[in-house]
């Protein structure tokens, strides 16, 4: 933790053109007006460099919205938190990691941007663990979880493009999710096989008996992506094929099936439904150049009664 001295905070504020007293957001759960300077204090504490500050500010603008529902994300006993994905030229400019160990440690920007957001939520918003934050287990990403998409290494459109932005724009996308779960497939050589394999893991996100009500994120590694690049599959083709592989017979996930009481009520019998709602699976390309692993990140209750992913443009 870096002590936020006046000199350090002043230097941090040079990272943005915004006025120190401009109110950025109302921070849940206490809905406290948070000026740029207060964000800068917490960014110093987190270890941010000044050039990270615009990303921190934009990230707060994503999570402190009705759509993202940060109060609920804190208060739920489910162990989820904001996961931040940065797209656009700024990721390279500030030295973010989209490669080896992308979801882990070792990169200052990745490690501190998400940390700064979490500190603002706790210090300014009052969302303290054990107070409003009621996560049964929590996860390490609640220390801060931020990474960049590997855009240059991907043959596909980016997450931000998929969400209506273009590659020249700097954006941050907030997704409410758990910790990453590794998916291993070292033998699939065809895109069809790998898609079925990824689907088998995605079906178990949160629980195989949860369908439609919770979103997910797939972080696809470069070597897995190479299967699709080699076969000429674009994002749309992949999503169409994957969606078909993620259709679930409700009879297989009813309460009581296989001696497990968890599951859908009997009135849902006899249907075939998708695991995720339309648009409810976010796919990001990131990771080191070697390793036939991807990651599945389960979400939380989606929609107006929960949390929706939110993307905002990062401005200076």
What gap in Å lies between CA 136 and CA 182, rounded to an integer? Answer: 22
**Minimum distance from CB of 38 to other proteins (Å)?**
7
Between the alpha carbon of residue 86 and those of residues 21, 70, 149, the distances in Å are 26, 19, 6
C-beta closer to other proteins: residue 119 or 239: 119
Q: Which stretch binds other proteins (CB under 8 A): 34-42, 49-57, 86-94, 98-106?
A: 34-42
Conformation bin of residue 286: beta by default, left when phi > 0, alpha when psi is -120 to 50: beta
Burial class (CB in 10 A: 0-12, 13-18, 19+), 231: middle
Nearest 5°: phi and psi at 165? -110, 170
263 is a site residue for other proteins (CB under 8 A): no
Q: Is 193 in the site for other proteins (CB under 8 A)?
A: no
Tell me which of 275, 285, 301, 312 binds other proteins, using CB under 8 A: 301
* Residue whose CB is less far from other proteins, 40 or 286: 40
Which residues between 41 and 80 bind other proteins (CB under 8 A)? 41-42, 45, 69, 71-72, 75-76
* One of 38, 224, 235, 275 touching other proteins (CB under 8 A): 38
List the x/- string, 10-29, binding to other proteins by CB under 8 A.
Answer: -----------------x-x
> Which H or E run contains 223?
helix 222-231
> Which of 29, 179 has the CB closer to other proteins?
29
* DSSP codes of every residue in 34-86: EEHHHHHHHHHHHT--GGGHHHHHHHHHHHSSTTTTHHHHHH-SS--EEEEEE
* Residue in 107, 101, 98 with CA at minimum distance from that of residue 150: 98
Which position among 206, 306, 308, 312 is part of the footprint of other proteins (CB under 8 A)?
306
x-or-dash string of contact with other proteins, 111-140, rule CB under 8 A: --------x---xxxx--------------
Q: Encoding tokens for residue 152?
A: 């240059």
Whose Cβ is closer to other proteins: residue 5's or residue 93's? 5
Torsion of CA 170, 13, 92, 227, to 10 degrees: -60
Query: Which of 60/119 has CB closer to other proteins?
Result: 119
Site size with other proteins, rule: CB under 8 A: 29
Q: How far is the CB of 283 from other proteins (least distance, A)?
A: 25
CB of 31 to other proteins, least distance (A): 10
With respect to other proteins, which residue has the nearer C-beta, 43 or 283? 43
Rounded to the nearest whole angstrom, what is the least distance from the CB of residue 7 to other proteins in the complex?
9
Q: With binding defined as CB under 8 A, does residue 164 bind other proteins?
A: no
Neighbouring C-beta atoms of residue 152, cutoff 10 Å: 8
Cα–Cα dist 309/313, whole Å: 14
Residue 157 per-residue DSSP state: P
∠ CA(216), CA(218), CA(221), 5° rounding?
170
Strands 247-249 and 310-313: unpaired
The only residue of 6, 21, 258, 261 in contact with other proteins, by rule CB under 8 A? 6
Q: What are phi and psi of 310, to 5 degrees?
A: -130, 135
Check binding of 252 to other proteins (CB under 8 A): no
The residues of the shown chain that bind other proteins, judged by CB under 8 A, are: 3-6, 9, 27, 29-30, 32, 34, 38, 41-42, 45, 69, 71-72, 75-76, 119, 123-126, 301, 304-307
């Amino acid at each position: 933790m870096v002590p936020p001295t006046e000199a350090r905070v002043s230097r941090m504020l040079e990272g943005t053109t915004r006025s120190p007293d401009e109110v950025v957001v109302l921070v849940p759960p206490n809905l406290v007006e948070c000026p740029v300077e207060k964000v800068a204090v917490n960014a110093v504490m987190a270890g941010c460099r000044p050039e990270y500050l615009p990303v921190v500010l934009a990230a707060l603008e994503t999570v402190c919205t009705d759509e993202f529902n940060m109060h609920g994300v804190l208060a739920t006993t489910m162990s989820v938190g904001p996961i931040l994905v940065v797209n656009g030229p700024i990721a390279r400019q500030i030295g973010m990691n989209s490669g080896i160990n992308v979801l882990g440690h070792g990169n200052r920007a990745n490690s501190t941007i998400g940390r700064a957001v979490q500190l603002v939520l706790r210090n300014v918003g009052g969302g303290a663990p054990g107070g409003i934050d009621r996560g049964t287990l929590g996860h390490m990403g609640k220390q801060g979880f931020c990474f960049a998409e590997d855009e240059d290494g991907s043959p596909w459109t980016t997450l931000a493009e998929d969400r209506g932005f273009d590659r020249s724009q700097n954006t941050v996308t907030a997704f409410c999710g758990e910790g990453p779960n590794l998916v291993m497939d070292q033998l699939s050589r065809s895109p069809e096989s790998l898609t079925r394999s990824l689907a088998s893991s995605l079906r178990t996100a949160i629980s195989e008996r949860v369908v439609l009500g919770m979103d997910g994120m797939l972080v696809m590694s470069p070597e897995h992506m190479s299967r699709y690049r080699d076969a000429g599959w674009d994002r749309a083709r992949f999503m169409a094929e994957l969606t078909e592989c993620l259709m679930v017979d409700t009879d297989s996930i009813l309460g009581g099936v296989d001696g497990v009481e968890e599951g859908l009520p009997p009135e849902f019998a006899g249907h075939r439904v998708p695991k995720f709602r339309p648009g409810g699976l976010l796919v990001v390309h990131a990771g080191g150049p070697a390793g036939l692993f991807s990651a599945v990140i389960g979400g939380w209750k989606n929609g107006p009664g929960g949390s929706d992913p939110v993307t905002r443009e990062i401005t200076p």
